[in-house]
Structure 1
Amino acid sequence: MTHVVTLEHLWLVDDLNPARAPQAPLRRLDVNLPHAPGGGTNSQAQTPTENPRRSRLLSGVQAMFQGANSSQANAGTTVSGSHSHHGSGASGSGAGGDQPSSEMDLMPGGYGNLTDCQAVLHDPAHRYQLVLVFPRHVVVVDFVIQQVIGTAVVERSLAGLFAVRICRLTGRLVCLHDSGVITVRQRKPFTLPQGVDDSKSQLGSSGGSDGSRLCGESDSSGTISLLTPSWLHQSARAAQFDVHYDTLTTSDPYRMVTRNSRIVAFALCPTQQTDSNDDRKILWGESLRAAIVLQDGRTLFYKMLPPAKDSKLGKRRLVLTAALETLSTLPHCMKMCPPVTFKNWKTYRPLLACAVGTGNVQVLNVATGAVERNICVHTTAVRGIEWTGLTSFLSFANATLQVQSTQNSNIKNELNLTEVTSGRVRQIRSDRADEKPIELVAVSKYGQYFIVAFKDQPFELWDLRNLSLLSTVSQNFRSISCLEWSPRSALRRKHSEMGEEAGIASPPKQTEPIFLKPPANDQQDTQAVENGKKTSKGQHQQFVKEHFLAIDAQSKVCFFTVEGSVLKSNMRILVPVSSGSITCTAWKADKLVLGDSDGNLSLWDITTKKSETTPSQRGAVRKVVFAPGRGNMKIIVLFQDAVELWEATADHTMNRLTSLKTGRGEVSHVDWAGSMRPLLAWANGTITIMDMELKPHPASSIADYFFEEMPFLPAILSPNSALHLKAILQHLPCSQQEVDPLAVMSSLRSFVNSEDTALARSMLADLEPEVWEALVKASVAERALIIARLFGDDEAIRFWTMFESLVDPVRRSLPPSFDLLLPQKEYRRTQLYRAMLHESKRGSNYQLTQCCLDEFLLLGDTDRAVQLLLETEPPNPHFTHDALRACLIACLKTENASQSSVVKLVATNLIASGDTQLGVQLLCVINKALDACRYLQSNAQWDKSVWLAKCSLSRVEQCDVVCKWAEHLSLVATNQRTKAAVALLSVAEVGRCIQLLAANQMLERAMLLADAAEEAGLQIEWDKIKEEYRPAALRLKYARYLHAIGNSEAALSFCMKALDMPEAEDLKKEIEIILEDSTSLIAHHRHLQLTRQRASLRRTPHSQLALIND
């Protein structure tokens, strides 16, 4: 069942099916909403209804039944059908049978509407209940009676509600407020009025077809006493049955740093919501976990912890366990750090700097996919980033955005140098103002210089090591559109020889953080400008001569030579391209690639002065980037609506490798994460690492990342490998023994896929120590439950939770979400409370009264049912019918075989004619509840039959009804075999459950259930189970299953236990042969590895051997 919300009503859809449109008409739900509370805890939600009028007939019949106590009884029973209740209300509900689907009228006295409703949630832990979320309160509605049964109000000290999530198992309300505070509210356990619990003791010994009653017994005279039913009406009327919530815990408020820290999403972990309410043993994974996603991309993770040992209040704690930085969704530019080389591979980290529109720069580790730094660098949007080394970068921004509207206006530029490791930001050119905006920043390949180019203004040459200005280009060369530094120096060899002769080595490329070097004083900067050299502490330093080219708006290229502060212009030529202006360049080795506005790519050989122009048949070229790696001449080209990979060949031609068609402006930036890994930044804020084929779906596989701590994610493995890993964890050594994770990892050698083997080993190596401890000390069932939580298997979690409750019902009580599968006493108690709740809310509505009448008759309280029938007013067209029904029920209080036969015949005819509800009521009145359950099952009302069996039958008869229900669930047409297995477990039919699981090829769960039952001491009648599902045959089937998924070691162990079967010997020989072959193969690989190591050691010099030994 689902619901549709409109401005005025709620509409219920009963037959929602993804394969077809709903066939049944929508059912309108009119809810009598309370007043919107003012925000205080003392606010009340009222549901005013008018008191039912007492008729003269009711008084007369009541006096006839009660005799002398008429006046007292009348005074005790004449109360309001509905009361005003406290607004923060508490608990109780449950499941019932099938209810009438007719539309009920709107109750008088309604307040409020649905226009302010933020969300409507179905409570998965309590059937037939909806939760309506408003800004300052939460309303709980029972849509069977269409009444508000509880309200939870937000305290005055807290902000309004952003979202509410309901725990699937416990029904807790996890409320997220606008301020970032999380509150967990739990329902108060309901208490029945005095006298109600007395009927529980009779359950299990009566209530079946033996003629005994559960409640509402008549006295010896056969008259009905309205003051001696299963509960006292005075206390039932006066009691408050509304749902009340208590605040279980409240998290600390999270500081919202900027306006972009608003909350955008909230979620709960679906498999970890079963935190216990008592001091019983808590298994791993039972703590509630929540996550909050902020607008700036951060994700906050919360976990509920038990009370601290020194806590006097003993309240649970909801603490922030982690904060995950993610990429912002705002538009950004990006730049990859310098590539890995033989000199920096020991300290290299693949860092990607991403600039967002807020002025922050996020540093992303491409190998792990995690944001390592989020540094606030600028006050406005970052326009460009240029790395100066492996851990530092330059970035620039414009302090005002007026340049977009007024092109000729001067602004204040921001140029900063940021060190990633410490997060320190240093301003450059802070004393400049009222100038043209910066267009680009380029750092030389050796890390000595960087150039700052402006719009319609000469560019500047800076010393990167001292952050001092070296030179400014003359006014003749302005408006630079592209600038590229030469990857190699033409005088490199000459300077190297001069350095060897003079004892001076050429300075290496800048890789250390600039902040670690002492700043130079003004006098030294002046000497550096004059002489092109710098003297510091008696050491003589020399600049390496470097080259760069600059292209102006007229497509003119000018080559420059830089040595110290000396800047020389070598030549100025017109590049042989088409008439379009040059938009981007890339320079690697002796190859220079230029892209123009007409979509042409020009390859220019610097050494031979040869050029070749290749049209791309697309629009303007936005960016070209060479792939890293010596000899790797692949190029990624970004167009307005496409991304292409090209390759520059040795014969001066350009070949297109592959292309990716995108939307216009969908890709904002391109780069290289590695020699074979293109990097694409999309307009929606995602960054994708792609392969050389440029697959059309921009998604990065999580298996491609290299995590420092690998999370346990079995979903990234192949299905066969995931099952293999699950079997390895399940069959660890016996409890009370320590397990070495390395020994467990060694058993992963039989994985078919080598990549899955590496991933599985990483998962086990980084698995939390408390998880290993829990797995080792747990029993078979507890270990299966922990593994189910690790793998996120909801069905397995539900199954093993039911088994744990079967073994130890006191310490492992079931949560209310199990509904019809709850223990019989607990379920009946829940339905008694639900019936009283409905009766207290009915008011004078006739249909609600009939609904309560049906519940009371099926629960066995005929006295209260008669009273409800007598309340029908004479103007009601059903007055005579209800009066006769009251007389019939009163007469059937005495046992009479002839009466029972006649009533049973009438009930059978009513059911055959289609009036199933009335026929079932008559059967329950004459204590034929088992027959009523069978009739309900024959009419496909399975839920109501189980409801009636749980509330009215003895344990043996109830077990029979549930087993028939399980058979129905296991049919092919129904296809709910897992639910059928849990239903069989709920009535302790372990043997039937094993047979059902094994027959449906759920061999793992069947075998584990058999072992767990044997460990727990449960008796299984194997004689009633088919021969093919008995222990020996079951172990053989399970051994074949383990052998099929690759776990030959465990398969051999189970095969040895099934040697009574003739087929077990053949399987045993097959597994032993495979194990011997794999063992010999592993030994051969190890021998080859040792041989290679010894050979490499013989070729290693003694100096390196000493370092290796150290």
Structure 2
Amino acid sequence: LPFASQLVSPRTITGSANVLNKGAIDWGYHGLMAYGSNSTIFVIDTRNVQIVQSLDLHKSIVKKILWVSCVETKSDGNPSIQLISGDASGHIVHWDITTATALSVLQDSNKPILGMEWVPGLENELMLAALHSPYFLVIWDIRKQTKLWKKSFTDTLLSFNFDPFNGSRIAFLCPDCILFVDDFQIGKIPSTNGRKFYISSPRLDSTSEDSLKGRDRLKRLMKGLVVGETRPKPDEAMTITECLQLTYHKSLRHHLLLLYPRDVILIDLHINQTIGIIPIERTMSPLIQVCTTRQRDVLYCLHESGSISVKIRRRNNNNITPSPIDSVADSPNIDMFVCYDHKCQSEMIRQMKGSKVLGLSVDPITEKHVGKFIKFISSAIITGEPSILTEVRRESHKCESPPNDNTASCGTFIKPGIPAKGERNMGSHRYGTYAHPFTPLSLFNFRLLPTSVLSNVNGQITIVKMCPPVTVKNVQHFLPILGVGTSTGFLYIYNLSDGTVYKELAIHSFPIRGLEWTGLKSVITFAYGDGAKVKNEVYMTDIWTGHSIPIRSEKTLENPISILKVSPLRKFFVIVIKEGPFEMWDLHTLTLLRTMSKKFPFVVALEWSPIHSVKSIQSKKKDTELGRDGMFIFLKLLSSVNSCNNILNHVIMIKKSCLLLGRPFVREHLVFSDTESKLYHFNVEEDGIKDGIKIPPESGVGMVTSIAFKANQIVQGDSDGSLSMWDLKARSSKQVNTNRGAIRYLRFAPGKTNLKLIILYADGLDIANLKQNTYEKISHLKWGRENGRIVDVDWANANYPVIATEDGWIRVLDISLTKSSSTIQQYQFKDVIRCPSLLPPKLLSKIHFLLCTQYWKLVPSYEVFTVKDGISEQDLPSKFFSCLDVNAQLKLLNLGSGFAGLNIAEKCLRVSRALGDWYGVDLWTVAIYYLEVAVAEKNSSKEQAVSMKSETPLDTCYDYLADPFSYQKLQLERVSVHEWKRGDYKHTQNVVEKLVLLGEMDRAVQLLLETDIDNPNYYSDAIKACLVATIQKTGAAQSTIKLVATNLIANGKIWEGVQLLCLIGKGLDGCRYLVSYGMWESAVWLAKSVLAPAETLEVMIKYADQL
């Protein structure tokens, strides 16, 4: 690639995460996923699994991450993509992803963040609820950067969750109970500390558990109630401390899920009882997280092993059907407990020792893709399943997008209506083709397969070395690649222009201790184990082919190698043995030129000189350097030779070949320092080493630890933190004390006249400029983070240093050492990011409009827009940043060949899904449904319309927006579960009340007559049963009952009066009374359950006005 497209920008390449990062992962509406790794946040493109951005401002462990709502970012003047993150020190940072800058930093205290959620209904206002340890709930106005209020509870809180159907309700998980707050308001602090509930469910011992199988065991486990306010007896209590997670069900109102290592409990909050339990098999790994979905009653369960299982609700008649509300409510005489079938499970991930599964997040738009966060093995795993959506979504068949044919296939999925591999690419597409809603789901095979992995380095980083710098000769094929050695003997080659792994090579069996580039395509590495005497491994490796040639393989146990340096002309290399003589080698022939005698001083620091080598080349005829292919022919020839005599013969032959190829015999120079800090200079030629000069140390100089040589400057760093600088041209010297302790490493930046020097210390680094023999500090970095010390440093280019930490992180910093990230426009990406939200908000709205309309064109265009469509020239194809290219994003949307034939509503639905507009998806899903209902009512009889509604209802997450027929059926089913679970008299009375309101008079009478004769309410229940059974709708009877109902309501017996009104068909009056008392939710429930459509509309209009 041309050099212009291989620019290096400040960026961070992720390493291993921290166990405390558990739960710091969130999948956004735009297809980007963010996760916190140590104190840094990474944003990845889930389509191509590449790092899009890194955010590095937190000083402590990132605990929680939350994407900003898509509605807010459409406002003018706001960044297009925003993120909220909270850390262990209580800081909350509001990020602009495109520029990697913090819009605001908020902090109430230094207590860790335990959870963050947007206040329901106020996402567009950026109202954030943050839970701080141990019991503080803080409400923030993110836009105004102010704290609205802070509530201190009396119980220790672990996590919390808003009710997705009612924003005034919050559930908190405590160490020994569950806490409910029912009066949450953004404008005032809750008046109470909430209502406590304890889990009461007898544990089965091993003996009884073996004797109880299947359904009987489930019923035994479900006998416990959620006991309010008082702690149950110890022998009855299921210890809540085992509870790992609390979350509201996203598709069913008033349902709560509690996650335990071996079970998931489903609680109905109307009756405060367990109505279902989802156990896992003994052979399966324990659970650590569960995610519910909105669009179907489906659970994604994350296991400790890293596998993901999918649980789908089973109907009581044991028939799996396309909708959870598609069958008539069952008789209460049969078991009504809620069961979930285990449909599929992903493969377990092979984990390294110490690895940990840290979190799971679900794609909020399709809910068929999940991201998994694992320590050590990978930062994130994207798991997709093309077939699972047939059960977790119901859509109009003609409105669905086709598969994304641009994604590589990862498996064959065969199902009705979808061709097998070879006919269509069934890869990890974001928007798949779903089954027809009437198709029995038992016909489908469900599978959950990993589709892509974002990996870390294998082991700890031990050394990094940047490839030779760009020159006029190599500019056309130059790649800014970084060699990274690890403790496991792996060599990683990173392309710093896009931050991806270019090559991964397993070379050594010991930790790599040193690495030197011998060109743009080959490296020399050495490795050894622990101990005083070791086996030194030295290999020369072609990074393109992976072919490695051993060097010094005949050596046995010896002192470890301390230094390996390759000369600037790639002619020689030096190997220094710790506390022993060094060896001079010919790089092209891999032959030993000379081994210094034992009397030779011990070398502690060494560097080659660039000065005379350059002059010697210029003084000779043009060098026709031997290419890398020719060199490796010689090296492979040598690798087949064993005896020393044969090696010498081959050396003579190779030298003659070098002469024929035009290679001159050159002279190079090196300098080194010994244990007494004396500086030595030697000349190196192909004939051997010639002694040079020896310079005694200046007074006060400690042991030299590193040497850097550039132009006329020689710099020595010692163990006392002093720099000794020699200007060879001016024949002057200077000493500077850095006052930062021992110097570990010195390195000049690339560039002929660039005299920037990087200095590595134990606690950080400095960058200085040494022009004109002066020491001018440019920047300073003190590395005090908890995520590992800096193990090595080098220059990524002439201005940006690159550092590596022992926990596997690589950071390219700017010259000020303050930034390790850049704007998205500065990055290079291996693949175009599929994220239309990166476009400016006004432009995105214009694209949305054009895709949904274009009715003024005879032939609409949906893949290419021009200036004629109102798109400005600067928003059209860009040479440098294709992510902001409108037409590139249009092609990645892949709306499908049938898109042009859809009507406007169907286009709006598909475009909303493609652009990640979940509010638009909800709006157009409901709109299309009722448009179809209206057409059906117009073209057919009313009975047929009702029948259609019963077969293809809206999903249960739409709740009050569902048609009355489906809503009533769902409520009847729920009352049947309540009736099956009734225990005491009070519970039975609640069931009777619901049955009367729903018009189930016979069942209500039966329950009233079941009242025990010793019960004080026996007589009133008997009279009530007679009233319900013999009610007459004559004028006089209705007047009397209405008068009684009015008096009851006036005296506070609201529901008793409403029941009487429903008995005489005055449900609308009952709704009006409920509204007058502020009971809006009950009024809407009653209207949807018993009123005619016209009357329901009246109540819903008032409810909408109230909202």
With the length of structure 2 as denominator, give the TM-score of the two structures: 0.69
State the match for 2:625 in structure 1: 507
1:150 aligns with 2:245: no
Q: 1:183 aligns with which of 309, 318, 325?
A: 309
1:288-326 CA distances to partner (integer Å, 9 max, x unpaired)? 444453522253322212451578964144333222223
Native 8 Å contact 1:388 1:510 kept in 2: no
Q: Answer 1 or 2: which has greater strand percent.
A: 2
Question: Does 528-537 or 948-957 show the bigger shift?
Answer: 528-537
Q: 2:922 aligns with which of 780, 795, 798?
A: 798
Letter in 1 for 2:752: R
User: What is the CA-CA distance between 1:28 and the residue it aligns to?
Assistant: 0.7
Q: 1:431 aligns with which of 547, 554, 558?
A: 554
Give the secondary structure class of the aligned counterpart of 1:165. Answer: strand
Give the secondary structure class of the aligned counterpart of 2:672. Answer: strand
State the match for 2:810 in structure 1: 687
- Taking a change above 3 Å as real, the CA distance of residues 552 and 957 of structure 1, as seen in their structure-2 partners, is farther
State the match for 2:1005 in structure 1: 866
Distance of 1:833 and 1:823 partners within structure 2: 16
State the match for 2:201 in structure 1: 32
Letter in 1 for 2:1011: T
1:1058-1077 CA distances to partner (integer Å, 9 max, x unpaired)? xxxxxxxxxxxxxxxxxxxx
Q: 1:780 aligns with which of 873, 898, 904?
A: 904
Give the secondary structure class of the aligned counterpart of 2:295. Answer: coil
Q: 1:43 aligns with which of 199, 202, 214?
A: 214
User: What is the CA-CA distance between 1:451 and the residue it aligns to?
Assistant: 2.0
Distance of 1:722 and 1:447 partners within structure 2: 53
1:519 aligns with 2:687: no
State the match for 2:163 in structure 1: none
Native 8 Å contact 2:351 2:377 kept in 1: no
Give the secondary structure class of the aligned counterpart of 1:945. Answer: helix
State the match for 2:776 in structure 1: 655
The 5 A counterparts of 1:451-530 are 451-488=574-611, 490=612, 492-499=614-621, 505=623, 507=625, 514=632, 518-520=636-638, 521=641, 522-523=644-645, 525-526=647-648
User: What is the CA-CA distance between 1:658 and the residue it aligns to?
Assistant: 2.8
User: What is the CA-CA distance between 1:925 and the residue it aligns to?
Assistant: 2.8
Distance of 1:784 and 1:487 partners within structure 2: 65
1:12 aligns with 2:93: no
- Taking a change above 3 Å as real, the CA distance of residues 410 and 343 of structure 1, as seen in their structure-2 partners, is same
Letter in 2 for 1:27: K
Distance of 2:978 and 2:971 partners within structure 1: 10
State the match for 2:511 in structure 1: 381
Distance of 1:514 and 1:39 partners within structure 2: 68
1:319-355 CA distances to partner (integer Å, 9 max, x unpaired)? 3322222356845432222222222222222222233
Native 8 Å contact 2:515 2:525 kept in 1: yes
- Taking a change above 3 Å as real, the CA distance of residues 380 and 45 of structure 1, as seen in their structure-2 partners, is farther
State the match for 1:244 in structure 2: 339
1:169 aligns with 2:292: no
Native 8 Å contact 2:863 2:890 kept in 1: no
- Taking a change above 3 Å as real, the CA distance of residues 257 and 120 of structure 1, as seen in their structure-2 partners, is closer
Q: Answer 1 or 2: which has greater helix percent.
A: 1
Distance of 2:1091 and 2:891 partners within structure 1: 48
- Taking a change above 3 Å as real, the CA distance of residues 363 and 887 of structure 1, as seen in their structure-2 partners, is same
- Taking a change above 3 Å as real, the CA distance of residues 707 and 699 of structure 1, as seen in their structure-2 partners, is closer
Distance of 1:109 and 1:46 partners within structure 2: 18
Give the secondary structure class of the aligned counterpart of 1:873. Answer: coil
Native 8 Å contact 2:978 2:991 kept in 1: yes
Q: 2:376 aligns with which of 290, 295, 298?
A: 295
Letter in 2 for 1:10: I
Q: 1:851 aligns with which of 969, 986, 990?
A: 990
- Taking a change above 3 Å as real, the CA distance of residues 12 and 781 of structure 1, as seen in their structure-2 partners, is same
1:815-844 CA distances to partner (integer Å, 9 max, x unpaired)? 22222222221111111000000100113x
1:795-820 CA distances to partner (integer Å, 9 max, x unpaired)? 23322322233334669753222222
Native 8 Å contact 2:561 2:577 kept in 1: yes
Distance of 1:109 and 1:954 partners within structure 2: 50
Q: 1:372 aligns with which of 502, 508, 527?
A: 502
Distance of 1:753 and 1:18 partners within structure 2: 45
Native 8 Å contact 1:529 1:564 kept in 2: no
Distance of 1:114 and 1:516 partners within structure 2: 70
| Aligned residue pair count | 859
State the match for 1:1105 in structure 2: none
Q: 2:713 aligns with which of 584, 591, 597?
A: 591
1:844-863 CA distances to partner (integer Å, 9 max, x unpaired)? x2232233123212212233
Question: Does 312-321 or 430-439 show the bigger shift?
Answer: 312-321
State the match for 1:677 in structure 2: 800
* Runs of 5+ consecutive residues of structure 2 not aligned to the other structure: 1-168, 388-412, 421-441, 934-947
Native 8 Å contact 1:480 1:551 kept in 2: yes
The 5 A counterparts of 1:110-509 are 113-114=239-240, 116-155=242-281, 158-189=284-315, 236-251=331-346, 253=347, 256=350, 258-259=352-353, 263-273=357-367, 287-291=368-372, 293=374, 295-297=376-378, 299-306=380-387, 307-308=413-414, 309=418, 314-327=444-457, 330-399=460-529, 401=530, 403=531, 409-488=532-611, 490=612, 492-499=614-621, 505=623, 507=625
User: What is the CA-CA distance between 1:516 and the residue it aligns to?
Assistant: 8.4
Give the secondary structure class of the aligned counterpart of 2:247. Answer: strand
1:860-895 CA distances to partner (integer Å, 9 max, x unpaired)? 22333333334333554555554554455456x112
1:945-987 CA distances to partner (integer Å, 9 max, x unpaired)? 2111110111111112112222222xxxxxxxxxxxxxxxxxx
State the match for 1:1072 in structure 2: none
User: What is the CA-CA distance between 1:730 and the residue it aligns to?
Assistant: 5.1
Distance of 2:373 and 2:252 partners within structure 1: 26
State which structure, 1 or 2, has the greater radius of gyration over its C-alpha atoms: 1
Give the secondary structure class of the aligned counterpart of 1:711. Answer: coil
1:943 aligns with 2:1081: yes
State the match for 1:923 in structure 2: 1061
- Taking a change above 3 Å as real, the CA distance of residues 799 and 538 of structure 1, as seen in their structure-2 partners, is same
Distance of 2:533 and 2:662 partners within structure 1: 41
Native 8 Å contact 1:120 1:130 kept in 2: yes
1:720-778 CA distances to partner (integer Å, 9 max, x unpaired)? 55545555655668697564547589945245999997531188269437346576555
State the match for 2:981 in structure 1: 841
1:572 aligns with 2:694: yes
Question: Does 412-421 or 346-355 show the bigger shift?
Answer: 412-421
The 5 A counterparts of 1:614-763 are 614-649=736-771, 651-663=772-784, 666-682=789-805, 685-695=808-818, 698-720=820-842, 722-723=844-845, 726=848, 739-741=862-864, 743=866, 747-751=871-875, 758-761=882-885
User: What is the CA-CA distance between 1:117 and the residue it aligns to?
Assistant: 4.1
State the match for 1:70 in structure 2: none
Distance of 1:138 and 1:724 partners within structure 2: 45
Letter in 2 for 1:171: D
State the match for 2:727 in structure 1: 605
- Taking a change above 3 Å as real, the CA distance of residues 455 and 707 of structure 1, as seen in their structure-2 partners, is same
Distance of 2:375 and 2:932 partners within structure 1: 42
User: What is the CA-CA distance between 1:179 and the residue it aligns to?
Assistant: 4.7
User: What is the CA-CA distance between 1:659 and the residue it aligns to?
Assistant: 2.7
State the match for 1:557 in structure 2: 679
State the match for 1:547 in structure 2: 669
1:460-479 CA distances to partner (integer Å, 9 max, x unpaired)? 22233333333222324444
With the length of structure 1 as denominator, give the TM-score of the two structures: 0.69
Distance of 1:512 and 1:133 partners within structure 2: 64
Distance of 1:932 and 1:190 partners within structure 2: 33
Distance of 2:753 and 2:451 partners within structure 1: 47
- Taking a change above 3 Å as real, the CA distance of residues 36 and 823 of structure 1, as seen in their structure-2 partners, is farther
- Taking a change above 3 Å as real, the CA distance of residues 457 and 947 of structure 1, as seen in their structure-2 partners, is same
Give the secondary structure class of the aligned counterpart of 2:266. Answer: strand
User: What is the CA-CA distance between 1:398 and the residue it aligns to?
Assistant: 2.2
